[in-house]
Amino acid sequence: MTATQDRSAQTGQAQTGETRTLTLIQAVTEAMREELARDDRVVVFGEDVGARGGVFLATAGLQAEFGPRRVFDTPLSEASVVGAAVGMAVRGLRPIAEIQFADYMGPGFDQIISQAAKIRYRSGGQFTAPMIIRTPSGGGVKGGHHHSQSPESYFTHTPGLKVVMPSTPYDAKGLLKAAIRGEDPVIYFEPKRLYRAAKGEVPSHDYIVKIGEGAIRREGTDLTLVGYGGVMPDAERAAAALAAEGVSVEVIDLRSLVPWDRELVLSSVQKTGRAVLVSEAPRISNFMGEVAYVIQEQAFDSLLAPVGQVAGFDTPYPYVQDKVYLPGPNRITAACVKALNY
């Protein structure tokens, strides 16, 4: 492995060397292009990923560059896409399977939880399925409930899977490369509303972002704000608004949910004494419930206020009212103020 494990990703910034400004989706494409070129075991497939380049154009140009043997369309069947990825991975390929929207992981769910997640364990490590399932997730694009859901908690609940969700182009590329070079099945959620909205510096040199490491986006001393994926720009806006009021908020981007960076979150909460957790998935059985539990278990003595949580509501994702559904900066700010005034 020639990549540098860029610890500077703690701040999401490249330290040295040449960089370019990319959007999040360009970073995803670039990661696949470089890995296809680096390792001929890598194959990319899914519905419409070939000539069309994917519905969001994440795979645009890859079939033209690497040919239909490496980058190809599949029949419209998520069970087939995921199940075939398991078989390819067991046989030695490095499959990157695209599920067109996270909302459509349902038909592939059994293959993910029964096959991909368990083959290493049930075979005593004799067989493994290192593979990636990439999928756009989250709301904010007027997609209604079949094109806006955040199903990550279903997968964090399944041992054997790694689950990641970047919010910056730097992390999108680094996490995808780490997933491709790793030895486990990785569910790689892409916050679709940031595909083109998130722009940032991406190094020209090869690098990875290690799965399991969070990043501090903003340092602070009064409160720890933890999020991931599509909510991160709003979390940073809330922190900036509070900074204008003289409140110092530390903003943490988890980047990886399984495994997640307990040490980073706990050390921050021990410093600030307050935590507010933000995600857009429905609240019941939200992954942040696990984060809250660990904070109260291991940093209880540091807490100056109950752990706050801002989440989506426990309703299917609505079309017309999607802006009300999503936790925007005002709702995040209010939760922080509540913790500060406790």
Partner 1 sequence: MTTASQPTPSTELTSLSSSPIEPFSPEPLRWVAEDGRPVRELPVRYTPELLRELHHEMVRAREFDRKLVTLLRQGRTTFYAQSSGMEATQVGLARSIRVGHDWVWPYYRDHTLGLAMGVPMIDLISQCLGTNSDLCKGRQMPHHFGSASKNFVSISSSIASQVPPAAGNAMAQKYLGTDEITLCTFGDGATSEGDWHAGLNMAGAAKAPALFVCENNQWAISTNLAAQTASPNIHIKAKAYGMPGFYVDGNDIVAVMEVCGHAAEWVRAGNGPALVECLTYRVGSHSNADADAEKNYRTRDEVNSWLARDPIARIEGLLAHLGHPVDAEERANLISSVHRAVDADVLKAEATGQPDWRIMFEDVYADTPPHLREQAAFVRAEQEGQK
Rule CB under 8 A: say whether 325 interacts with partner 1: yes
Shortest reach from residue 69's CB to partner 1, in Å: 9
Q: How far, in Å, CA of 288 to CA of 270, rounded? A: 18
295-304 long-range contacts (CB < 8 A, ≥24 apart) are 295/265, 295/266, 295/269, 298/262, 298/266, 299/266, 299/269, 299/270, 302/269, 302/270, 302/273, 303/269, 303/273, 303/274, 303/275, 304/273, 304/274, 304/342
Of residues 204 and 315, the one with the C-beta less far from partner 1: 315
Rule CB under 8 A: say whether 68 interacts with partner 1: yes
Rule CB under 8 A: say whether 341 interacts with partner 1: no
Q: Please pick, among 145, 146, 147, 157, the residue that the annotation labels catalytic.
A: 147
Beta-bridged to residue 132, according to DSSP, are 96, 186
What is the contact mask toward partner 1 in residues 3 to 42, using x (rule: CB under 8 A)?
Answer: ----------------------------------------
Q: Which of 75, 92, 125, 246 binds partner 1 (CB under 8 A)?
A: 75
| Sites for partner 1 among residues 183-222 (CB under 8 A) | none
Shortest reach from residue 31's CB to partner 1, in Å: 22
Q: Which of 11, 104, 201, 210 binds partner 1 (CB under 8 A)?
A: 104
Of residues 102 and 209, the one with the C-beta less far from partner 1: 102
Shortest reach from residue 127's CB to partner 1, in Å: 23
Written as six digits, the tokens of 44 are: 């990319």
Q: What are phi and psi of 265, to 5 degrees?
A: -70, -45
147 tagged catalytic: yes
| Sites for partner 1 among residues 147-166 (CB under 8 A) | 147
Shortest reach from residue 55's CB to partner 1, in Å: 6
Q: Which of 263, 284, 285, 342 binds partner 1 (CB under 8 A)?
A: 284
Q: Which of 13, 19, 33, 79 binds partner 1 (CB under 8 A)?
A: 79
Written as six digits, the tokens of 218 are: 């903003």
DSSP label at residue 124: T
Q: Which of 96, 99, 95, 120 is nearest to 108 (CA)?
A: 99
Of residues 139 and 169, the one with the C-beta less far from partner 1: 139
Q: Which of 34, 48, 201, 206 binds partner 1 (CB under 8 A)?
A: 48
Residue with the two structure tokens 């490491």: 213
Instruction: Give Cα separations from 247 to 209, 236, 238, 272 (angstroms).
Output: 30, 13, 11, 11
Q: Which of 139, 56, 138 is nearest to 100 (CA)?
A: 56
For residue 83, the one-letter residue type is G
Shortest reach from residue 87's CB to partner 1, in Å: 16
Written as six digits, the tokens of 164 are: 């990641």
- Are 120 and 131 in contact, with CB atoms under 8 Å apart? no
Q: Which residues have a catalytic role annotated?
A: 147
Residues that bind partner 1 (CB under 8 A): 47-48, 50-53, 55, 68, 72-80, 103-104, 106-107, 142-147, 283-284, 313-316, 318-321, 324-325, 330-331, 334
